[in-house]
Amino acid sequence: MSCPICKKATFEKYRPFCSKRCADLDLGKWFNGDYASAAEDIEPEEAETLAKILAEKRLN
């Protein structure tokens, strides 16, 4: 297995990365929004239903 950032061999302590540096670089990419997954649009009615469910869960 190679590090997804620098392609060097991985180190067990930081797997799947080779070092703390590469692990931190990857985390920074997540924080900056460099990694994203596509989302599907939902209908307004579905959004309202989800909002109600979330609001109820927060009260409990």
Burial of residue 42 (CB within 10 Å: 0-12, 13-18, 19+) is: exposed
* pLDDT tens for the 60 residues of the chain, in order: 899 999 999 999 999 999 999 999 999 999 998 988 878 888 999 999 999 999 988 876
**Tokens for 49?**
């239903």
Global pTM reads: 0.58
- CATH code of the domain made up of 1-36: 3.30.50.10
Q: What is residue 31's predicted lDDT score, i.e. its pLDDT?
A: 93
Contact 37, 28 (CB under 8 A): no
Q: What is residue 7's predicted lDDT score, i.e. its pLDDT?
A: 97
**For the chain, which residues make up each domain, given as ranges?**
1-36
Q: What is residue 42's predicted lDDT score, i.e. its pLDDT?
A: 87
